[in-house]
Amino acid sequence: MLIYFFRHGIADDRADPDCPPDFERGLTEVGRKRTRFAAQGLQSLEVEPQAIWTSPYVRARQTAEIAAEVLIGAKADLHVTESLEPHRDPEELFVELGEAGLDLLLCVGHAPQLDLALAYGVGAPDAYLIRLKKAGAACVEWPGPRHGEGRLVWLMPPKVLRRLGGGDEAV
């Protein structure tokens, strides 16, 4: 199974007094633009997921919708899962992945959960060895069903993805 991990894009600033509760924070206009270019970068890498799983948080769902539009070409049915919420145990996600029966999957979520999931999947001793920035992505080849047996295929910073997707650094 190839698992693509895609962190959500730039969201509303928590420090803003008008910011909604964390669950409802959405992507900013800049976040949407950068996320689209990053998704186009994934497309240039020939990422073609069979399914897109997302955290239920608004910013992750918006990121997943952009990815679905770019990578699948239409509004896709997103699988919303609590196992991609921030601060969830990565084992929950890998149990769900093991039961999914998919070959190519895109998971959209948050830090530090995606960092922890990446480390868990490849057996890295420290989650902070692998860190995804906003709208950054990684690909893990995971034979399942146990954790720690995966192999990190690539890790793409958002700047590189945006460049691959035809984005301008000013965006």
Check pLDDT > 90 for residue 42.
Answer: yes
Maximum mean pLDDT: which of 64-73, 126-135, 142-151: 64-73
What would the mean pLDDT of 67-93 be, rounded to a whole number? Answer: 90
Cα–Cα distance for residue pair 157/136, rounded to 1 Å? 5
Domain extents in the chain: 2-164
pLDDT at position 127: 64
Candidates 85, 76, 82, 27; CA nearest to 49 is 76
Q: Which CATH class is domain 2-164?
A: alpha beta
Return the ∠ at Cα 116 (arms to 110 and 119), rounded to 5°: 135
Ranking 29-38, 47-56, 79-88, 147-156 by mean pLDDT, the lowest is 147-156
Q: Mean of the per-residue pLDDT values for the chain?
A: 91
What would the mean pLDDT of 18-30 be, rounded to a whole number? Answer: 91
Q: Kind of pairing, strands 51-54 and 2-7?
A: unpaired
Cα–Cα distance for residue pair 88/91, rounded to 1 Å? 9
